[in-house]
Amino acid sequence: MFRFLVLVSPLLVACTPIQAPIVQMKGVDPDTYNKDLANCYLAVPAFGLGNPVTKCMAAKGYKVLYGN
């Protein structure tokens, strides 16, 4: 049983959902934010380290307050 958990646990970590980053919304149009966030979710690679949505939103100029 222990070997099974050791072998399967990396796969479970890889399947965790990507959460949206918390950004500073002062002066940000909510419609533009939602469109940019959707585009960042669509651009997520199949595999990668960190949170690619957070990196994408920061690259679009949003001030990320918290993002995994």
| pTM tops 0.85 | no
Q: What is the pLDDT of residues 1-13, one digit of tens each?
A: 556 444 555 555 5
Dihedral angle sign, alpha carbons of residues 65, 34, 59, 68: positive
Structural domains in the chain (count): 1
Four-CA torsion 29, 20, 48, 44, nearest 10 degrees: -50
Does residue 57 belong to any structural domain of this protein? yes
Q: Which positions of the chain have pLDDT values less than 50?
A: 4-6
Structural domain span for residue 35: 18-66
6 part of a folded domain? no
